[in-house]
Amino acid sequence: MTSIAEVLKGLAALPEDWHAAGCLEMPNLEGLARHASTRKIRRSVETGTGKSTLLLSHLSEHHLCFSLDDAKSLGDGHSLERASGSSLLKPGVVEFVVGPTQRTLMAHTFSEPLQLVFIDGPHGYPFPDLEYFKLYPHLETGGLLVVDDIHIPTIRNLFNFLREDPMWCLLETVGKTAFFERTSAPTFSQSGDDWWLQPYNTRRFPVPYNDLNSLNDDSPVFMGAGETEADPAVYRKRLLPLLGRWASDGKRVAIFGTGAHTDFLWSALPELWRVNIVAYLDTKAENTGSTYRNVKVQTPEWTAENADVVLCSSFEHELTQMAFLDAMPSVKVVLSHPVTKLHAQFAAKAKEDREKAKAEAA
């Protein structure tokens, strides 16, 4: 039996131009091995073919690979031919479905749940989304969704959506590859609408539409290449348009948090001076009535009558903060920084709790 380490070693030895369209780099392959080897992968699906196919043949019991016949399209033998003929491919595991996924995948019927899905097919809009549409209902809880090439804007859109969706928990990104885990959140209906249930929509709605003839994009900006969560520029890009709107609308803003992260927020966004900050919120009873930056500290419940917006300010405690505010529909809750895997987990849990409560009430 070939060990995964040996397979990785073999993949590392392959020439750089082994795949005509570019190969997954070793750190990405190692990430794939790391996440997949901790799960029992009975069935997996991949769109596109390459070194990942060779690796997944050792990680999965049955791997279905939707591959373009690039020997025809490119005029010479490339990924499909090379993958299917490679000595690193574990025999009897991979089933190739040849042709454009726009046709082959869409026509395929999945009868068994999947434990791993790797989206690396055509990159143009709307093809990654189509692949996602076809595959997401079949990935079981705890399953791995891998999205490659998140540096391409069309795929970044998908990535941005997924990282906020309750069905997914972003485990990590390795270079241009993102690894998500399927949460226990209910599967989003493929035949309904329900856009208002998706956090990606609710957090942004309504997107300004009055000035669509200009090139200004007023929608929130998420982290791009080279940006980190502690980068003040990320906060400024995300929050400045919101602060401007709150100020012009005369919104009463409460900031949840009186710790180091709120200090950081102030240093990154001195424009907070221009916003009507009515309180800082703290769950510790002993802090109620004290002051922070010359403004009174209040309980989260206080916001129900006295604030329009709550800006949650904490890396570690935003989930707790959101939980406190979840019962106050009149208050708009905004996270100070882009959503991370924790938020996806929380969103899944919150949705689960809501549905449970709804079922109990019924």
Partner 1 sequence: MSENTKQIPHAPMPTLVHCGHHKCLTVFVDRCFQKVLGGHFRNFFQDAAGFYEEHQRYAVTQTSDFLPDFSRLGDYKISRFIRDPRDLIVSGYFYHRRGTEAWTNQPRDQWRWQNVPRAMRADETYAQLLQRVDQEDGLIAEMEFRAPHFESMLCWPADDPRVKTWKYEDIIGREVEVMDAVGEHYGWPDDDDPFTLRAALRHFANRWKANDTLRAWDKHVRDPRPGQWRDVFTPKVQAVFAARFPDLIETLGYEPIARSRRTA
Q: Which one among 190, 191, 210, 294 touches partner 1, defined by CB under 8 A? A: 294
Q: Which is nearer to partner 1, 76 or 217 (CB)?
A: 217
126/241 with CB nearer partner 1? 241
Going from the C-alpha of 58 to that of each of 97, 104, 110, 223, the distances in angstroms are: 19, 24, 21, 34
* Position 292 contacts partner 1 (CB under 8 A): yes
CA distance 103 to 105: 6
Residue span binding partner 1 (CB under 8 A) among the ranges 188-196, 200-208, 292-300, 338-346? 292-300
Measured from the CB atom, is 227 or 263 closer to partner 1? 263
CA angle 182–185–187, rounded 5-degree value: 85
> How does DSSP classify residue 193?
-
State how far Cα 38 lies from the chain centre: 20
As measured in angstroms, the least distance from the Cβ of 147 to partner 1 is 30
Site string for partner 1, 126-165 (x = CB under 8 A): ----------------------------------------
* Distance between CA atoms of residues 28 and 30, nearest Å: 5
User: Does 274 contact partner 1 by CB under 8 A?
Assistant: yes
Judged by CB under 8 A, the residue of 81, 140, 227, 271 near partner 1 is 271
> What is the closest distance, in whole angstroms, from the C-beta atom of residue 244 to partner 1 in the complex?
3
- At residue 145, what is the residue type? L
8 Å CB contact between 155 and 128? yes
Nearby residues of 99 by Cβ (< 8 Å), 6 or more positions away: 66, 68, 69
Q: Three-class SS of residue 79?
A: helix
Residue closer to partner 1 by CB (options 2, 291) is 291
Write the binding mask 231 to 270 for partner 1: x where contact by CB under 8 A, - elsewhere.
-xx--xx--xx-xx--x----------x-x-xx--xx--x
Pick 116 or 272: Cβ nearer partner 1: 272
Based on CB atoms, which residue is closest to partner 1, 139 or 242? 242
Q: What x/- string results for residues 93 through 132 when contact with partner 1 is judged by CB under 8 A?
A: ----------------------------------------
Distance in angstroms (rounded) separating the CA atoms of residues 123 and 132: 12
Q: Is 293 in the site for partner 1 (CB under 8 A)?
A: yes
Segment contacting partner 1 by CB under 8 A, of 10-18, 123-131, 228-236, 298-306: 228-236
Contact partners, residue 350, CB within 8 Å, separation at least 6: 166, 322, 323, 326
Nearer to partner 1, 125 or 266 (CB): 266
Which of residues 14 and 295 has its CB atom nearest to partner 1 in the complex?
A: 295
Q: Which residues contact 107 (CB under 8 A, 6 or more apart)?
A: none
Q: Among candidates 43, 57, 40, which has minimal Cα distance to 91? A: 57
Pairing status of strand 309-312 against strand 253-256: parallel
Q: Considering the complex, what minimum distance in angstroms separates the CB of residue 47 from partner 1?
A: 38
Cβ of residue 210: shortest distance to partner 1, in angstroms?
16
Nearest to 298 by CA among 257, 264, 328: 257
DSSP calls for 275-319: S-EEEEE-S-GGGTT-EETTEEEE-GGGHHHH-SEEEE--SSSHH
Residues in the interface with partner 1 (CB under 8 A) total: 30
Q: How far apart are CA 354 and CA 310, in angstroms?
A: 21
In the list 73, 189, 202, 290, the residue contacting partner 1 (rule: CB under 8 A) is 290
Instruction: At 173, list the tokens.
Output: 């990104």
State in angstroms the smallest separation of the CB of 247 from partner 1.
7
Among residues 195, 291, 356, 357, which is the contact residue for partner 1, using CB under 8 A? 291
Contact residues for partner 1, defined by CB under 8 A:
232-233, 236-237, 240-241, 243-244, 247, 258, 260, 262-263, 266-267, 270-271, 273-274, 280, 282, 287, 289-294, 296-297
